[in-house]
């Protein structure tokens, strides 16, 4: 985690999400945060937003917990007037990519990211709502 660079949004969840018209939620189990997901507007006028921070503890994968978070995000997006979701996902997350595709997200291009000491590649995903 690089809170001075790529992950700086984690230091101010209100300012990074809710204050700009998005939302950040966590999934809890017995008082422990076990997952998270966030929505963040890209262009409110054209109805485009991005998803960020879809994370889930490994032990909860394939239990339906990921679907709870994704279903929440898609419902939140539609309810708040968005028509399209676009986001980037690290190329190493192949299991997550299959999950996105089951929801109808289409994989597009690839980009290289260099943020401070972090260097990685990401795939683009999009879905019209």
Q: What is the structure's pLDDT at 115?
A: 80
User: Is the residue at 2 inside a domain?
Assistant: no
Half-sphere exposure of 28 (CA within 13 A, CB side): 4
The whole domain housing 36 covers: 8-128
Q: Would residue 1 count as lying in a domain?
A: no
CATH code, domain with 106: 3.40.630.30
* Tens digits of residue pLDDT in 39-70: 999 988 889 999 999 999 999 999 999 999 99
Q: Is 60 inside a domain boundary? A: yes
What's the pTM? Answer: 0.87
Neighbour-count burial of 68, counting CB atoms closer than 10 A to its CB (0-12 exposed, 13-18 middle, 19+ buried): middle
Tens-digit pLDDT profile for residues 84-115: 999 999 999 999 999 999 999 999 999 999 98
The count of domains in the chain is 1
Output 12 or 7, whichever has higher pLDDT.
Answer: 12
Query: 């994968």: which residue's tokens?
Result: 61
């Amino acid at each position: 985690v690089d809170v001075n660079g790529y992950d700086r949004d984690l230091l101010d969840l209100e300012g990074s999400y809710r204050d700009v018209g998005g939302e950040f939620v966590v999934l809890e189990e017995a008082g422990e945060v076990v997952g998270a997901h966030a929505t963040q507007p890209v262009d409110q006028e054209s109805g485009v937003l991005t998803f960020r921070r879809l994370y889930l503890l490994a032990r909860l994968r394939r239990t339906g917990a990921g679907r709870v978070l994704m279903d929440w995000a898609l419902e939140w997006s539609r309810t708040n007037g968005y028509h399209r979701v676009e986001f980037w996902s690290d190329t190493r997350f192949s299991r997550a990519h299959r999950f996105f595709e089951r929801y109808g997200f289409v994989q597009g291009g690839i980009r290289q990211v260099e943020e401070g000491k972090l260097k990685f590649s990401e795939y683009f995903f999009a879905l019209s709502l």
